[in-house]
């Protein structure tokens, strides 16, 4: 009988138990790591963007969501904790810390490592599940402790990707289309939380259509099921937009009277290497940026006021490709140097050399290991190169898309997390699976990027980037 065959392969049974045990242990260790950093930082006040999300969560259940550039979903997730905080202050913040730690521990230590190993290969162990979480708690403590969109949006797109993959591999139509439907909802929630994930929604639709081994009609139905799920998730946003703009659009409307937010970010990116928020002790916080001299020189010969559309910006890029290649390379280097991992930093960045070197060494080593997995083949690479590139696009396109704009290091969180997982799961035999050239390459790149960033941040500018763009204002 078929059910007796489960006992015929004790190795498979042992492997299944081991995987389940590693998931439980990895979840617990990751939860503890996130809670430790929450309690250590002991954040009591949420400033700037974090404060904005926290304040918006009070306007969900009375249907008074204001007209602004953020979606409804993340404030909805925060609303129970905001209610508890307003009525039982200490308990509300404690529950926020506990529940966010549980949320991140599940998505980052349980769900994603399993998804990653299915696509790219590698070993699932307690260490491979928990070490990335521990390193994230060290490198990006602010993303764990503050209600910001970067970590939850990545978790949601991971959930969507995992469901799409399960749907593609499912053998029954009802289960397959149901998984695609729920994945569509999660993908929309990720976009609603951070709009740059709109590109990931497109990528997931293409993966469903081109990688599912189904008749073309079923693949098309799969895409429609995914989009129907996204449409259901968009209903509250459509109601918000209908009320404010008389337009039931499912999109987050970011053009609020001052022109395109995306274009504004692109223009900032011409003159900004990196952007931070400096909050010295016993003093009001202030934005700070580090100027890009190549971009400033370019705008000396360009009237920035005449760049009023994305088309105008692209024409400028095509006219000066080498200059923009240099600008984008500086953005990447600055984004990988996470010396401001608290987000709202209280120490000037040029004084954080150890944090800089540590974050760079870890992520660059992880990138080399990820590239090995991406281009490897055989038993340890379950998916083909094209398929792996597709899933990589889903996970990292949000980072790629922000490179031209004003870079904050938290925007590179997906690169760090994916590459940290690759670093500890991408071993075929043991934890000493690094090649000699990887270590040498990592050291050289780390020192080079560190030297560049250290020089770049010597002269912070406590003003808006428009001060370097002739008081540029999009649309004027």
Q: Show contacts of 79-83: CB within 8 Å, 24+ apart.
A: 81/57, 82/54, 82/57, 82/58, 83/58
User: What's the pLDDT at 378?
Assistant: 59
Return d(Cα 202, Cα 181) in angstroms, integer. 15
- Give which of 103, 109, 97, 90 is closest to 145, Cα–Cα: 97
pLDDT for position 372: 85
What whole-number distance in Å separates Cα of residue 272 and Cα of residue 269? 5
Answer for the pair 414, 422: CB distance below 8 angstroms, yes or no: no
pTM of full prediction above 0.95: no
Please tell me the distance from the alpha carbon of residue 98 to that of residue 103, in angstroms, as a whole number. Answer: 9
Q: What angle do CA 128, 132, 137 make, to 5 degrees?
A: 150
CA distance 121 to 115: 9
Q: Is the pLDDT of residue 259 over 80?
A: no
Residue 274's beta-bridge partner residues?
A: 290
Percent of the chain with pLDDT over 70: 91
pLDDT at 137: 96
Q: Map the chain to HEC letters.
A: CHHHHHHCCHHHHHHHHHHHHHHHHHHHHHHHHHHHHHHHHCCCCCCHHHHHHHHHHHHCCCCCCCCCCCCCHHHHHHHHHHHHHHHCHHHHHHHHHHHHHHHHHHHHHHHHHHHHHHHHCCCCCHHHHHHHHHHHHHHCHHHHHCCCCHHHHHHHHHHHHHHHHHHHHCCCHHHHHHHHHHHHHHHHHHHHHCHHHHHHHHHHHHHHHHHCCCCHHHHHHHHHHHHHHHHHHHHHHHHHHHHHHCCCCCCCCCCCCCCCHHHHHHHHHHHEEEEEEECCCCCCCEEEEEECHHHHHHHHCCCHHHCCCHHHHHHHHHHCHHHHHHHHHHHHHHHHCCCCCCCEECCCHHHCHHHHHHHHHHHHHHHHHHHHHHHCCCCCCCCCHHHHHHHHHHHHHHHHHHCCCCCCHHHHHHHHHHHHHHHHHCCCCCCCCCCHHHHHHHHHHHHHHHHHHHHHCCCCECCCHHHHCCCCCCCC
Residue 67's pLDDT is: 85
Average pLDDT of every residue of the chain = 88
Largest separation between any pair of C-alpha atoms in the chain: 80
> In whole angstroms, what is the distance from residue 184 CA to residue 237 CA?
15
Q: Average pLDDT, stretch 65-92?
A: 92
Please say if the pLDDT value at position 473 is more than 60. Answer: no
Q: Rounded CA gap, 113 and 153, in Å?
A: 17
Other beta carbons less than 10 A from residue 405's beta carbon:
22
pLDDT bin (cut points 50, 70, 90) of residue 370 is very high
Q: What is the pLDDT of residue 5?
A: 37
Q: Which of 158-162, 210-214, 458-462 has the highest mean pLDDT?
A: 158-162
Q: Reply yes or no on whether the pLDDT at 274 is more than 70.
A: yes
pLDDT at residue 121, rounded to an integer: 82
Q: What is the mean pLDDT of residues 232-241?
A: 96
How do strand 344-345 and strand 272-278 relate by DSSP bridges? parallel
Nearest to 244 by CA among 65, 20, 447: 65
Residues 464, 271: contact at Cβ < 8 Å?
no
Check residues 469 and 101 and name the one with the higher pLDDT. 101
pLDDT digits (tens, 9 = 90+) for 372-426: 888 876 555 677 888 999 999 999 999 999 999 989 999 999 999 999 999 888 6
Residue among 309, 250, 279, 248 nearest 142 (CA)? 279
Write the pLDDT tens digit of every residue in 32-70. 999 999 999 999 989 999 999 999 999 988 888 988 889
pLDDT at position 381 is 65
Question: What does the pLDDT average to over 131-135?
Answer: 95
């Amino acid at each position: 009988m078929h059910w007796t065959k489960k006992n015929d392969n004790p190795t498979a049974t042992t492997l299944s138990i081991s995987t389940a045990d590693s998931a439980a242990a990895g979840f617990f260790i990751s939860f503890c790591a996130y809670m430790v950093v929450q309690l250590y930082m002991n954040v009591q006040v949420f400033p700037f963007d974090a404060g904005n999300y926290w304040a918006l969560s009070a306007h969900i259940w009375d249907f008074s969501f204001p007209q602004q550039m953020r979606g409804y979903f993340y404030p909805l997730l925060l609303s129970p904790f905001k209610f508890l905080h307003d009525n039982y202050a200490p308990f509300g913040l404690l529950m926020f810390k506990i529940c966010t730690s549980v949320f991140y521990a599940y998505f980052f230590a349980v769900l994603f490592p399993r998804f990653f190993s299915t696509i790219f290969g590698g070993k699932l162990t307690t260490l491979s599940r928990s070490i990335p979480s521990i390193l994230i708690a060290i490198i990006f403590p602010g993303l764990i402790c503050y209600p910001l969109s970067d970590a939850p949006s990545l978790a949601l797109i991971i959930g969507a990707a995992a469901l799409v993959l399960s749907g593609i591999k499912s053998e029954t139509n009802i289960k397959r289309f149901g998984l695609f439907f729920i994945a569509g909802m999660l993908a929309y929630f990720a976009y609603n939380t951070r709009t740059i994930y709109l590109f990931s929604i497109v990528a997931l639709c293409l993966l469903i259509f081109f990688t599912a081994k189904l008749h073309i009609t079923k693949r098309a139905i799969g895409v429609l099921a995914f989009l129907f799920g996204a449409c259901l998730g968009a209903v509250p946003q459509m109601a918000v937009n209908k009320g404010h703009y008389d337009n039931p659009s499912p999109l987050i409307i970011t053009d609020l009277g001052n022109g395109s937010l995306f274009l504004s970010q692109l223009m900032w990116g011409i003159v900004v290497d990196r952007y931070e928020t400096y909050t010295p002790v016993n003093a009001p916080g202030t934005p700070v940026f580090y100027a890009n001299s190549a971009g400033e020189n370019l705008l000396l010969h360009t009237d920035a006021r005449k760049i009023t559309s994305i088309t105008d910006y692209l024409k400028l890029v095509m006219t000066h490709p080498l200059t923009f290649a240099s600008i984008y390379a500086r953005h990447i280097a600055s984004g990988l140097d996470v010396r401001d991992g608290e987000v709202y930093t209280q120490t000037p960045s040029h004084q954080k050399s150890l944090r800089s070197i540590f974050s760079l060494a870890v992520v660059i080593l992880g990138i080399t290991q990820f590239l090995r997995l991406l281009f490897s083949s055989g038993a340890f690479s379950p998916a083909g190169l094209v398929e792996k590139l597709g899933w990589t696009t889903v996970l990292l396109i949000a980072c790629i898309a922000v490179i031209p704009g004003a870079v904050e290091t938290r925007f590179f969180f997906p690169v760090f997390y994916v590459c940290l997982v690759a670093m500890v799961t991408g071993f075929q035999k043991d934890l000493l699976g690094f090649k000699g050239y990887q270590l040498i390459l990592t050291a050289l790149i780390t020192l080079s990027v560190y030297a560049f960033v250290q020089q770049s941040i010597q002269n912070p500018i406590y003003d808006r980037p428009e001060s370097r763009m002739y008081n540029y204002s999009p649309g004027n």
